[in-house]
Amino acid sequence: MIRTYGTATIVAGLLFVGTTALGADKPVAWRLDYDSARKEATAKGLPLFLEFHTEDCYHCRRLEAGPLKDAAVSSLLNERYIPLRVDANRSPRLAEALRIQAYPTMIIASADGKIITFLEGYQEAKPLSDHLQRALAVQTPDWMARDFQEASKAVGMGDYAKAVSLFKGVLEDGKARPVQTKAKAVLDEIEQQAAGRLVRVKQFQDKGLYSEAMDLLTELMSRYSGTQPAAEGAKLLSTLAERPEIKSNQQTRRAQDLLALARHAYKNERYYVALELCTILETTYKDQAEGREGAELAAEIRSSPEKLASACEYLNERLASMYATLGDTWFKKGDKDQAAAYFEKSVKAAPTSLAARDAQSKLADILLKPPAIPTRFQKPEK
């Protein structure tokens, strides 16, 4: 049976209308269809705000005429939520599925349908605004949680460049979710580490140890790519590279480094990487001993069908990884069709690779349609 929180009277109605906050900036842009609202919330990564009411509910009208027209509340609902108004008498199955027992009842749910807050009865504007703000703070999109975990793994493995890129993506929307606060703290630590490297570089430079400074700059730019110190290091590297004492040894050292990397890749059967490095050696340093040795190593790889097949497989895995990354990028922008298309390409490029398996899982999630009735919604235990 439907319960209400009071019976309307003309006198009481005039009293609460007279005390209503006047003139919210914009009225709430209510959605009226549940299925459409769920799809919109999922596509935009925004939480849902559901307001259940009935026509004969006095406190429902009081809520709608007052707090829901408050400027702070309406702006939050329009900008940070997908607001859905539900007449329980016209949508009894939905009300029953959510176990609505009194009116008005307001539900705040994450984009994936998990209930964050369940509010029964009339709420003043300030407490309602506070509930909306707190719900935003705990709302973490699935992609954001996944990227934070990947970034944390990258930090543990010392892959700071990957971690910086992922953490910056987590922080991109400028909100203050708990996971974003953690991401900001770790990102600040990485920036401090990179700044320490840059200080050492300048100490080498002041002592005239230019080769040592360049070596440390190269490590800074590679390991801490994406940080501010790495960007400053790139400018400093170009300045140091113009010094006469550096220019005289730079070409030989570069050729030696490339050959050492090519040999290491060949020894570890990473033939695609070895072939790329050898191609640089045989074209750029062809008049040096390193260039000639690189050409011999490249010829050995090209003459072996097994080694070339391994190189092609590595290239396919890289392509699968890039397609998967592109799919993630489209998904974050809310375009599921594009995301699904590139996840499919990732799977086709290298079906047995880790990137393809991850893409297959994400593709399945995209293609899974939400139910017509929110069976995953559960009213919290009191």
CATH number for the domain including 19?
Answer: 3.40.30.10
Q: What's the pLDDT score for residue 377? A: 54
Residue 124: helix, strand or coil by DSSP? coil
282's tokens? 């045989």
* 72 close to 129: Cβ distance less than 8 angstroms: yes
28's tokens? 């709430």
Write down the mean pLDDT value for the chain: 82
pTM: 0.39
Residue 379: inside a domain, yes or no? no
Q: What's the pLDDT score for residue 160? A: 92
Torsion of CA 88, 91, 96, 101, to 10 degrees: 0
- Which residue is it, tokens 């849902």? 48
Q: What is the pLDDT of residues 147-192, one digit of tens each?
A: 888 899 999 988 999 999 999 988 887 776 667 888 899 999 999 9
Long-range contacts of 246-252 (CB under 8 A, 24+ apart): 246/210, 246/211, 246/214, 249/211, 251/285, 251/288, 252/288
Total domains in the fold of the chain = 4
Instruction: Verify that 224 and 264 share a domain, yes or no.
Output: no
Residue 60: inside a domain, yes or no? yes
What's the pLDDT band for 82 if we cut at 50, 70, 90? very high
Residue 380: inside a domain, yes or no? no
Please determine, for residue 9, whether its predicted confidence score (pLDDT) is greater than 70: no
91: containing domain: 3-138
Please determine, for residue 373, whether its predicted confidence score (pLDDT) is greater than 70: no
Instruction: Verify that 18 and 100 share a domain, yes or no.
Output: yes
Q: What is the pLDDT of residues 216-259, one digit of tens each?
A: 988 898 889 889 999 898 888 878 767 766 665 667 777 888 89
19's tokens? 């005390």
Cα–Cα distance between 96 and 317 in angstroms, integer?
Answer: 49
Instruction: Verify that 56 and 133 share a domain, yes or no.
Output: yes
Phi, psi of 119, deg, nearest 5: -115, 120
Picking from 201, 226, 242, the residue at the C-terminal end of a domain is: 242
What's the pLDDT band for 139 if we cut at 50, 70, 90? low
Cα–Cα distance between 371 and 319 in angstroms, integer?
Answer: 35
Cα–Cα distance between 218 and 130 in angstroms, integer?
Answer: 49
Picking from 197, 214, 242, the residue at the C-terminal end of a domain is: 242
Instruction: Verify that 274 and 225 share a domain, yes or no.
Output: no
